[in-house]
Structure 1
Amino acid sequence: MANTVFNKAPAAPAAGAAELRQGSDTGALVIVTILFFMWGLITSLNDVLIPHLKAIYTLSYVQAMLVQFCFFGAYFIVSLPAGALIRRIGYQKGAVAGLLVAAAGCALFYPAASSGYGLFLFAFFVLASGITVLQVAANPYVAVLGPARTASSRLTLTQAFNSLGTTIGPALGGLLILSSATAVLDPAAEAASVRGPYLGLAAALAVLAVLFLLAKLPTIVEAEDTPLAGEGHGSAMAHRHLVLGAIGIFLYVGAEVSIGSFLINFLGEPHIAGLSHADAAHYVSIYWGGAMVGRFIGFAVMRVVSPGKTLAFNALAAIALVLVGTFGQGSLAMWAILAVGLFNSIMFPTIFSMALHGLGKYTGQGSGILCMAIVGGAIVPFAQGALADFMSVQASFLLPAACYAFILYFGIKYAGMYSAK
């Protein structure tokens, strides 16, 4: 990504650098980190709602995965318009707009509870559209708050708080949605159990939008940077590492979301753990909690080990664990799949920052492309759902293993990306 200097007062532009003016990097990171937490919590609630809605509306796995298809499909559709919006109104106002759209999406869950599965899917799309705007605005913000060499480490630290949200989300959803619904036999009443939690989220997002609007944040001004040797110069897509990074983001998000989406049903299999949906939801929190712990560890590790090498190691570990979960049984298979979360931890921020490295004036465009690649969270779970319907839930986990194989390749290929810094 672009090398960027953060200053409290205006300064002369440095060669190959962007300037951040007004405020402090610490204050900006704290504020943006709140956004990471919120969208983490909201995203992981999908893992609770998928089996809940599947049971209520008697859906196949493919039909249930339409939740993730609509949610992550919004990233593909909205990312480029979000980038254009942010270029027009600025990063801070763009984040406020994203928060308000996300709040509207949460509010739509109230009428969806009495209108059927179709309106639920639309609500997921609107909610994800708001989060997409936040992603496009916040990821580059964190990436430029310091030297390029530590960008992966910095993104990993902030996304550790994203993982805190994803850890709390399933447990909260299990408590507020699944626990209250399991005692009720009426499908309409079970659908209505989502109203309170999502109205609360809508209110929280609206308040956060107001606070974010009033906050004093630095302004990001991008300047051209020196591209990597051997890379193209005409557009962001001419940079080979960005293209490969976009594929990596597509497959990583797809694998991570697929595993989370199928966890409750996987843990409910008699030969795995035989857990009820409400009980299994607490184990989903362990999966996401592993990612949180891993990101704090990764923040320290990548201060001394190259991001590419760290990424390759984690991808190899994830492949091994998924294979154990696919071919094993009982507690061994259960804990192997749950442990994948620990090694997922650094993948998104590391791939994201490596893909943006050296893009200079194309950093914003590159960020939009990478956010579009998050559509993997729509496609891969949908494909795994087809495999689960055709084969079995357990056998379908071979698909995430294949996704991690490409990430292993990407990490090895660019293992020395920051060696000269």
Structure 2
Amino acid sequence: IKDIAPYISLYWASMMIGRWTGAVEAFTDNISLQKVLRFVAPYLAFGVFLLVNAIADHDLAPFYVYAAIIVVLIVADMSSKGSPARMLLIFSGVGIAALLVGMFTTGMTSVYAFTSVGLFCSTLWPCIFTLAVSGLGKNTSQGSSYLIMMIMGGGIISWLQGYVSEFTGIQYSYIVGILCFAYLAFYALKASSILKSQGINFDEKISGGH
């Protein structure tokens, strides 16, 4: 258990790393400072992970290479330019790539590929929520309530992957995750198209704001 624990903590740390990266705009309106924080915040969060595991007396040597994977998160975040639809599409695409690498490689490459999915799941829910409730007007409160009540993927997808793993083995059962990411990518494109037809264009708002 002691040998596995730091890898489990790295997955959850990846979620924290992604969220800290996605939250930099909440700290300042200064564009130049935001660019700096996009590099500082994720590595600060990664530093917290290293510190906690150092205190727990875990070997940190295998985890330093993960710093390079965080660069992919930073590039993906900057490429999204603050647009929820673009972020959902890009992060879903990178999530699919990470799962494919994990499925078709072995050893630590596979481990880090699967673990890095946490980086790209981290900010998807705010994107989904924003796209889902935009344009609802007076029905926003009711729509958001329905959306919250429909959060049940963890109870279904986990079971489905477990069922698939009985036939494919655990490594290839991540095809379920790929299908989930693929749907999110489709949702990003579809929701963006629908919102644009209603006169809501996040890309224009963001570029106009900058």
Same fold per TM (> 0.5)?
yes
Q: Is the 8 A contact 2:84 2:130 kept in 1?
A: no
Match of 1:366 among 133, 138, 143: 143
Deviation at 1:388, TM superposition (A): 1.6
Query: Counterpart of 2:4?
Result: 280
Q: How does 1:1-40 map to 2 (within 5 A)?
A: none
Query: Counterpart of 2:82?
Result: 305
SS class of match (2:152): helix
Query: Counterpart of 2:48?
Result: none
Q: How does 1:58-69 map to 2 (within 5 A)?
A: none
Q: TM-score, normalised by structure 2?
A: 0.63
Query: Counterpart of 2:16?
Result: 292
Query: Counterpart of 1:355?
Result: 132
- Counterpart code for 2:7: Y
Supply the distance in 1 between the matched residues of 2:8 and 2:126 (Cα, whole angstroms): 21
Which consecutive unaligned segments of at least 5 residues does structure 1 have?
1-276
Deviation at 1:304, TM superposition (A): 4.0
- Counterpart code for 1:292: M
The answer on 1:381 being equivalent to 2:158 is yes
Give the helix-richer structure, 1 or 2. 2
Supply the distance in 2 between the matched residues of 1:279 and 1:368 (Cα, whole angstroms): 41
Map Cα deviations across residues 61-84 of structure 1 (whole Å, 9 max, x no partner).
Answer: xxxxxxxxxxxxxxxxxxxxxxxx
Which consecutive unaligned segments of at least 5 residues does structure 2 have?
26-76, 206-210
The answer on 1:332 being equivalent to 2:116 is no
The answer on 1:396 being equivalent to 2:180 is no
Query: Counterpart of 2:32?
Result: none
Map Cα deviations across residues 218-247 of structure 1 (whole Å, 9 max, x no partner).
Answer: xxxxxxxxxxxxxxxxxxxxxxxxxxxxxx
Q: TM-score, normalised by structure 1?
A: 0.32
SS class of match (2:169): coil
Supply the distance in 1 between the matched residues of 2:81 and 2:101 (Cα, whole angstroms): 30
Deviation at 1:420, TM superposition (A): 4.8
The answer on 1:315 being equivalent to 2:99 is no
How many positions carry a matched residue from both structures?
Answer: 145
Supply the distance in 2 between the matched residues of 1:352 and 1:390 (Cα, whole angstroms): 34
Superposition RMSD on alpha carbons, in Å? 2.1
Q: Which has the larger radius of gyration?
A: 1
Supply the distance in 2 between the matched residues of 1:397 and 1:285 (Cα, whole angstroms): 20
- Counterpart code for 1:381: S
SS class of match (2:4): helix
Map Cα deviations across residues 346-373 of structure 1 (whole Å, 9 max, x no partner).
Answer: 1011111111112122222212221222
Q: Is the 8 A contact 2:89 2:188 kept in 1?
A: yes
Percentage of pairs with the same residue: 37
Supply the distance in 1 between the matched residues of 2:120 and 2:155 (Cα, whole angstroms): 21
Supply the distance in 2 between the matched residues of 1:278 and 1:361 (Cα, whole angstroms): 52
